Amino acid sequence: MEKLVVLSGAGMSAESGISTFRDTGGLWDKYPVEQVATPEGYRRNPELVLRFYNERRRQLLSVKPNMGHKLLGELEKDFDVAIITQNVDNLHERGGSSRVIHLHGELTKVTSSDSPNDPRYIKELKPEEYEVKMGDLAGDGSQLRPYIVWFGEAVPMIEKAMEYVAQAGIFVIIGTSMNVYPAAGLLHYVPADARVFLIDPNEVNVQSSRRIEVIRKGASEGVAELSARLGQ
């Protein structure tokens, strides 16, 4: 089966009603990034940070995967699909994708404040556990924190993502500005003979001289057109 690798960003989930961070009126307008998405912000006010991610998890309970997520799930019938996402929601999984690499962490998981990437302390929350409070402890006795890669932290899954991208026969970019590194650099690892698609309703400035097939549509319509172009 041909390997199809998808890199998805905030635009993938926007149609499902997940607030984007960077757009006007997005989350960064309401919550300065320094407060809720940096290790320093967490050390200064852990309670605020926990509350912010509790709200994000509550939002997850009220949204559903959109047609774009579901169509990517269906592509697994004909392709060996890997999803690399910058999103922390679980909509790709709920849409039917079985191999999802989360570069920036996962909203439904919590971990140790002292050793965030130690697999012994990473825990998947059930919906009834989505409200994390001060005093909730990880296995090592430290405060439970969101399993999110904050600004200034290493991206532990990037090597795995590079491995998948280096094997791609088809590489698809959906709903990402290609401004956030290291994710934006993944395009450099795509084999020279692979087909590259870009799905976005807006113009995206991609720093690459290679041929890119652009589909100027949102995630759902764009993935439907991608499927048609791939002969599905």
- Residue-level pLDDT at 30: 67
Q: Structure tokens of 154?
A: 């290493």
- 19-62+107-148: which CATH architecture? 2-Layer Sandwich (3.30)
Between helix 67-74 and helix 219-229 the angle, nearest 10°, is 30
DSSP bridge pairs for 174 = 8, 199
Give the pLDDT band of residue 204 (cuts 50, 70, 90). Answer: confident
Mean pLDDT computed over 65-82: 97
Among residues 69, 92, 102, 104, the one annotated as catalytic is 104
Residue 29 confidence (pLDDT): 54
Cα(38)–Cα(211) distance, rounded to whole angstroms?
Answer: 36
Instruction: For residue 17, give the amino acid letter.
Output: G
Work out the pLDDT band at 231, boundaries 50, 70, 90. Answer: confident
Beta-bridge partners for 145 = 111
pLDDT category at 119 given cuts 50, 70, 90 is very high
Show Cβ contacts of residue 104 under 8 Å, excluding neighbours closer than 6 positions. Answer: 86, 87, 88, 148, 149, 155
**Rounded average pLDDT over 85-108:** 97
Q: Which residue has the higher pLDDT, 206 or 217?
A: 217
pLDDT of residue 189: 95
Residue boundaries of the structural domains of the chain: 1-16+65-104+155-232, 19-62+107-148
**Other beta carbons less than 10 A from residue 162's beta carbon:** 15
Least confident of 73-77, 87-91, 93-97, 207-211: 207-211
- pTM summary value: 0.92
CATH number of 1-16+65-104+155-232: 3.40.50.1220
| pLDDT digit string, tens, across residues 21-37 | 554 454 545 677 788 99
Q: Known catalytic residue: 104?
A: yes
